[in-house]
Structures are given as C-alpha cells and as structure tokens.
A and B are shown apart, each in its own frame.
Chain A
Amino acid sequence: MKIKSDFILQKMTENSYVAMPVGKSRDLVKGYLNVNSTGAFLWDILVKGATKQDLVLALTAAYEVDSGLVEKDVESFILKLNEIGALDD
C-alpha cells in the first residue's frame, strides 16, 4: 500500500492533521479526513509504501505496545484512507 501522490497531509492544530487530495476533481465531502498524531505517524510510513504488518510493527516499536492492541487501529486507519481514496492498491 502507498499514499497516492496527489494527497497531502498538513498539521493543523496540536494533535490534529488534515488529509486531502489536490486537484480539480477533489470532492470535499468524501475526500477529506481528520487525522491524529498516530495516524500522521502511519501516513509518513505509507508515503514510502508499506504492508499492514509493517505498520503494526512500526507502531508497536514506537509506542511500546502489544501488537494485538494496535492491529485493529491500523486496520481502521487503512479503511478510512480507502474511504477517501488515498491509497494505491
């Protein structure tokens, strides 16, 4: 999985980011997502391309938590990214 090149992530407030596509065809109802700092951490990895397992490993390493706990979070984040059409593959 990889973040599509026409999507950007911008920090807006302390723990809040916005993800959205660039371009004339942008749909601001569907193509918009509020992302927290954990999501932003995953986004940065996905910009280079990663599997679900890569993301789980990176999160458990960075936050010293059990992989069982973060797997659901990773899955729901991927689901959200797919909803706004931000992922290739």
Chain B
Amino acid sequence: MNTDLIIRIFIMKNVYLIAGVAFQIEYKSKNTELLLKNYLCNIEPLHVVNLPSEEEIEFECKMAKIDDYNKLENVAILRKISTILLKKHSTVLLHSSAVSYNGKAYLFTAPSGTGKSTHVNNLKTVLGSKLEYINDDKPFVKIEEGSVTVYGSPWCGKHNLGSNVNRQLNSIIFLTRANENYVKLIDGNEALKPLIRQCFMLDNKNDLSTLLALISKLVNSVSFYILGCTKELDSAFVTIKEIFKGDINEN
C-alpha cells in the first residue's frame, strides 16, 4: 500500500472540543482527520497540540507494536491530549465502556478480554434506545468538587461505539466473569486499586500525584460495584435492576 496517498505532505490543523476543552490539533493522516471529525468546533483554542514528533511516533510504535503512521499519529495525539487534560483540567482518561441510562452515566471497566463489550451489548439488546453509548473504550472523566462528568471521545474502540455527549457519572462497575450473576456494592478503599489500574498514567511524580489526588476525589463522589456476570442476556437484567435501579418490566 502506498501510504503517501493518505498521509498528506502538508500539516493540517483544526480546532476540536474534547472533554469540554478546545484543542488546536495538527495532523497529516487522513485517518486522524476522519477519527476527529465529530469533534470539530469553531471556538478559540485553549491548547495547541503540535504534530507528533518522530520520537513520539517511535514511542507509540514500540508500545502498540505496529508500524503504520496512519494508525500511530492519532494515538500520539491522544497521549498529548490526555496529558494536558490531566495536568490542567482535572480530567482523567479511564479505560472503560461508558453508557448512559435515564440521563446518568455508568462506566463498566475490567481488564481487556473480560467481556465488557458483551455485557454492554446485552444491555443494549434489552434496553434498546433507552441505553446510549457514550464511549466503548476511552471516555474522559472530569472530576470536580461535587460533580463528576463523563465525556465521549473520538477514541471509542474497535466497534466505533460512542457519541460526542457528556453525562453526570453515577457509578463505576468492575466487571468479572462468573458462573452466576451477582452485584456487590463496594466502598472507595476497595475500588482504589482496580480504578488506578484502568487510568491513563503519567511518568513523573507530580503528575502521578495529581492523578491520585483526582482519584481520591472520585472515590468519594460516586458508587462502586463489582458485577459478576455470565455472557448470557440474563446478566443485563441484574445490572438494570441492581445498578441502574430501573424497572425490568418496562423493558
């Protein structure tokens, strides 16, 4: 494949509103342009994100073990944006599947391969249009005094499920594969370790300290559940009743 066809010679730049913050982003890849297009905006940018350097692309190449500029450029941009959002805007990238029900956001999180997508898919089957996808992979979470907001982002996973919306966060659910469906409410202390594991990390003391301080606010602001679930459709009813506090008979 001749990648010259899809990587421009000239640097493009546009302004995008991501997690409520306007970024001017430079790019060359058509892939990046398509990925970001739903987030275009017309306001004065607060931050400028320069075209990723050769070193930054090389770093992503090592991390992702792929060697394709078209796929790596937007990953490098995501790293730059996540860093700015964490340092300047109290906003954390939390690897999870974010949905909303009755106007409130819920984050389902688990190590890759546990079955987040399967469960969210089951919820969608049962709830239909009452369940809204916010982001199936990398939503941003803004943590402020008294309010936690989940934002959709352009990086929404391999099934491309997501939308450019924001909703107040109600609960975070740690999903685990089980033979029977069950829900257990846990306290903030118990939630800390799995929560930290799913966050975008930075590599210096001050930034890690910033992240942990935000997480300490988060654990005091929302509810946490462990959800043991099967792959079957029944598992959706447990979540709807016990976590969404919804009426199953309505669905």
Taking Cβ atoms with an 8 Å cutoff, the residues of A that contact B are: 6, 8, 10-13, 16, 18, 20, 22-24, 26, 28, 32, 34
Contact = CB atoms under 8 A, between A and B. Distances in A.
B192 interface: yes
Contacts, number: 44
B47 to A, nearest CB: 24
Interface of B: 188-189, 192-193, 196-197, 201, 203-205, 208-209, 212-213, 215-216, 219-220
A16 B219 CA distance: 12
B131 to A, nearest CB: 31
A16 B189 CA distance: 7
Contact of A12 (B197, B201, B212): B212
Contacts of B209: 8, 10
B189 A13 contact: yes
Contact of A13 (B201, B203, B204, B216): B216
**Chain B interface main SS type:** helix
A11 B188 CA distance: 13
A20 B211 CA distance: 12
A11 B215 CA distance: 10
30 contacts: A8-B205, A8-B208, A8-B212, A10-B209, A10-B212, A10-B213, A11-B216, A12-B188, A12-B189, A12-B215, A12-B216, A12-B219, A13-B188, A13-B189, A13-B219, A16-B189, A18-B192, A18-B196, A20-B208, A22-B203, A22-B208, A23-B203, A24-B203, A26-B201, A28-B196, A28-B197, A32-B193, A32-B196, A34-B189, A34-B192
